[in-house]
Amino acid sequence: MVDFASVRAIDFHTHAEEPCCDHRDDGYNEFQAGMAAYFKNPAGAKGMLPTVQDTANYYRERNIAAVIFPVDAERETGFRRYSNEEVAGICAENDDILIPFASVDPHKGRAGAREVRRLVRDFGVRGFKFHPTMQGFYPNDREACYTVLEACAEEGVITLFHTGQTGVGSGMRGGMGMRLKYSNPMYLDDVAVDFPDMKIILAHPSFPWTEEGLAVAQHKPNVYYDMSGWSPKYFPETFIRYANSILKKKMLFGSDWPAITPDRWLADFEAAPFKDEVRPLILKENALRLLGESV
């Protein structure tokens, strides 16, 4: 198990990528090339996607624990998903550094709810990642997704939702069919009301709806923010001001590995205008509380 007392930080947002030796679905390489161009890094180029084991090795060298998950977006993208069970199994082999989350398309309804329960009970999964834009749903659509969210709430796990702009499909014809509207964080206000005891994380600074996301996180006690997907040097001023004040105990370090490395994120975080007393909260202490670990 992770020795939370000794790790220097907890990255709450890293992606599990399929092994590079696997056959790629049609369009997958173009999708990854678009992501690499958007984030201005080589991840996604041929041979450049790290495996889950590569990720464990990388984070272990840096003494940073990492929440890791695949994304189940088969329905919208046509790309087969990376097995939740396989990712959880590799996490179990590296449980000194990796914290397993999973992903289930909420459109799977009762079958998805059964999968949620099985992953939590049999594989030790501690949370679930949802991507409204990639999975094509409004988070507050009761018919489309509440059966799966009810299972998450009943199992007492964390839910993490992509919010705002995405690099997925950016610059590609028709945006690869991705619709940004689904990722407005205000839809999660309804989810927070309907599941008041379920911990909800808004992923990324929610641009162009940053202020809506901040309002939801401030108003609902069960809503948190991870700061992934952007270098801290590009954070909106309002986002930093809230992180330094009324949301200082709700902000979580997240990189968006492999799109953004923790090395880059942490270097830019060091140079950004965060208060000294807030930095340890963001890097580790808030995550410990959210995970139910002692601070």
Contact yes or no for 162/134 (Cβ under 8 A): yes
Between the alpha carbon of residue 131 and those of residues 11, 64, 156, the distances in Å are 18, 25, 20
Give the pLDDT score at 294: 79
Q: Which residue has the higher pLDDT, 114 or 42?
A: 114
**Six-digit token string for 128:** 């679930």
Give the pLDDT score at 168: 72
Phi, psi values for residue 225, rounded to 5° = -130, 130
Contact yes or no for 32/86 (Cβ under 8 A): no
Give the pLDDT score at 80: 76
**Measured distance CA(113)–CA(111) in Å, rounded:** 5
Is the pLDDT assigned to residue 117 strictly greater than 90? yes
Is the pLDDT assigned to residue 119 strictly greater than 70? yes
Give 174's pLDDT tier (boundaries 50, 70, 90): confident
Q: Is-cis flag, bond preceding 262, omega within 30? A: no
**Measured distance CA(173)–CA(183) in Å, rounded:** 20
Give the pLDDT score at 39: 54
Is the pLDDT assigned to residue 114 strictly greater than 70? yes
Give the pLDDT score at 74: 84
Question: 30-84: per-residue pLDDT in tens?
Answer: 555 555 555 556 555 555 578 999 999 999 999 999 999 999 988 867 777 889 9
Is the pLDDT assigned to residue 116 strictly greater than 70? yes
Task: Please state the pTM of the whole predicted model.
Answer: 0.91
3-class secondary structure, 43: strand
Give 251's pLDDT tier (boundaries 50, 70, 90): very high
Cα-based angle 116, 152, 217 (whole degrees, multiple of 5): 140
Average pLDDT, the chain: 91
Between the alpha carbon of residue 171 and those of residues 168, 240, 259, the distances in Å are 9, 28, 16
Encoded amino acid at 197, one letter:
D
Give the mean pLDDT of 189-218: 98
Q: Which residues of 179-203 are buried (b: 16+ CB within 10 A; e: fewer)?
A: ebebbbbebbbebbeebeebbbbbb
Between the alpha carbon of residue 162 and those of residues 106, 136, 197, 256, the distances in Å are 14, 12, 20, 11
Give the pLDDT score at 20: 45
Give 25's pLDDT tier (boundaries 50, 70, 90): low
